[in-house]
């Protein structure tokens, strides 16, 4: 005669099902994000709209921002020298996600008051490394290395009514450390690093006597915002101009 197993025997199976559901949900979300990122193909007009929507250059008038985008392009940002290849001069220049991220980062640095030549150097000196960082920061904005970390050094913001355990604010995402600083008007830099929340907190709050490094950039926040706005951008209608 068959017997019904005790309830605790089913607990591991339930836990496994919950974990499988969580993994499936996360995988689907990551797959969707990968598809959206890979399919981004924007022209100049759309890029201007995206940069306006992100508010990364909120301190500039729209005309000044658009002029700055053109100036950056002449300085090979966000396209490296020789990266733009067109069979026909009339073909549009297409921006992919990494180009949007580099342009957005450049505008943020300039909007924060950085010298133009220094901003261009920071985003282009280690372009290959940074392009990998842009993708990683987007994919791990709330998981992996960017998993939220409770800020237990702060006062709790609430209490769990069931357990009585305190709630804390969290730090999440990945942060860009250019590993650069200014000295006598000269920008000195080494290879940039991508930091998790704990490393970012340690780096930001460390005391450096007489040394003032370039501030960290919340890269996951920046890349997530850019992807969100860019993916919702309506394609521009094009056609022959009417005769006048």
Number of domains in the chain: 1
In a domain, 100, yes or no: yes
The answer to whether position 33 is within a domain reads yes
Instruction: Give me 82's structure tokens.
Output: 């020789």
- Residue 204 maps to a domain: yes
237 domain residue, yes or no:
no
Residue 71 pLDDT more than 90?
yes
Whether 2 maps to a domain, the answer reads no
Pairing, β 166-167 against β 158-159: antiparallel
Are the CB atoms for 169 and 201 separated by under 8 Å?
no
The three-class DSSP label of residue 155 is: coil
**Residue 242 counted as domain residue:** no
Of 59-73, 188-202, 209-223, the one with minimum mean pLDDT is: 209-223
List pLDDT tens digits, range 20-55: 444 444 445 888 999 999 999 999 999 999 999 999
Task: Express each pLDDT in 102-144 by its tens digit.
Answer: 999 999 999 999 999 999 999 999 999 999 999 999 999 999 9
6 within a domain of the structure (yes/no) = no
Q: Which residues constitute the domain of residue 208?
A: 15-231
* Cβ-based neighbours of 80, under 8 Å, separated by 6 or more: 124, 127
pLDDT digits (tens, 9 = 90+) for 157-172: 999 898 999 999 999 9
Residue 118 lies in a domain: yes
Q: Are 145 and 161 in contact (CB under 8 A)?
A: no
Average pLDDT over the chain, rounded to whole? 85
């Amino acid at each position: 005669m068959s017997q019904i197993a005790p309830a605790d025997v089913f607990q591991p199976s339930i836990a496994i099902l919950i974990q499988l559901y969580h993994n499936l949900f996360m995988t689907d979300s990551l797959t969707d994000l990968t598809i959206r990122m890979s399919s981004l193909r924007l022209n100049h007009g759309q890029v201007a709209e995206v940069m306006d929507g992100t508010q990364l250059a909120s301190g500039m008038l729209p005309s000044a921002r658009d002029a700055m985008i053109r100036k950056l392009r002449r300085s090979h940002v966000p396209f490296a020298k020789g990266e733009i290849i067109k069979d026909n001069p009339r073909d549009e220049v297409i921006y992919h996600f990494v180009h949007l991220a580099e342009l957005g980062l450049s505008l943020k640095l300039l909007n924060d008051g950085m010298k133009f030549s220094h901003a261009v150097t920071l985003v282009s000196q280690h372009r290959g490394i940074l392009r990998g960082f842009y993708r990683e920061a987007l994919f791990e904005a709330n998981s992996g290395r960017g998993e939220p970390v409770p800020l237990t050094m702060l006062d709790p913001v609430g209490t769990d009514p069931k357990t009585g355990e305190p709630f804390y604010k969290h730090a999440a995402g990945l942060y860009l450390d250019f590993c650069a600083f200014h000295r006598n008007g000269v920008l000195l830099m080494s290879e940039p690093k991508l930091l998790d929340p704990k490393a970012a907190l340690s780096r930001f709050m460390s005391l450096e006597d007489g040394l003032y490094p370039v501030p960290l950039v919340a890269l996951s926040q920046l890349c997530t915002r850019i992807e969100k706005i860019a993916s919702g951008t309506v394609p521009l209608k094009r056609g022959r101009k009417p005769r006048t």
